[in-house]
Amino acid sequence: MDSGESKNLNLEDMMQLGANSAKAGNKDSARMIFKQVLSIDKRHVSAWLWMASLAEDTLDRRRYLETVLKLSPNNPTALKQLGAMDQAIERGQNSSLRFGIILVVLLVVAVVVVGLVVVVLTRH
C-alpha cells in the first residue's frame, strides 16, 4: 500500500468515525473529526456536507453548502438544501410583507374610524 492509499483509508476511517459520532448524537465530536478531515483534504465534499448537517446556525450551514457547490457545482444534496433554505427565507419574507400590509390597513381603518368619531362628536 502506498502513502496515497494509506491517506485515503485514513480519511475514510475518519469519515466513518465522524458519521457514527453524528448519528449517535455526538455533534461536537463529529464536527471535530470532520474538521480534521478537512484540514487534510479541503476538497472533501462529503466532509463539507456533514459539516453543513451539523452546523450550529444557518449562516454556517449556508457557507458549508456553498463550499460544496464550489467543489461540485451540480451536487444534488447541496442544491436541494440551499433551495429549501432559500424557500424558507422567501416564505418568511412573504409572511412579514403580509403582516406589514395588514398592519397598515388596520392603522388606516383606525384613523378613519377615529376621524369619523371626532366629526360626529364635534357636530353635536
**For 7-53, how does the pLDDT look when each residue is reduced to its tens digit (9 = 90+)?**
555 999 999 999 999 999 999 999 999 999 999 999 999 999 999 99
pLDDT tens digit sequence for 76-95:
999 999 999 988 777 666 66
pTM for this model (two decimals) = 0.65
pLDDT at res. 91: 65
Measure the CA–CA gap between 94 and 88, rounded to whole angstroms.
Answer: 10
b/e 64-82 (16+ beta carbons within 10 angstroms → b): bbebbeeebeebeebeebb
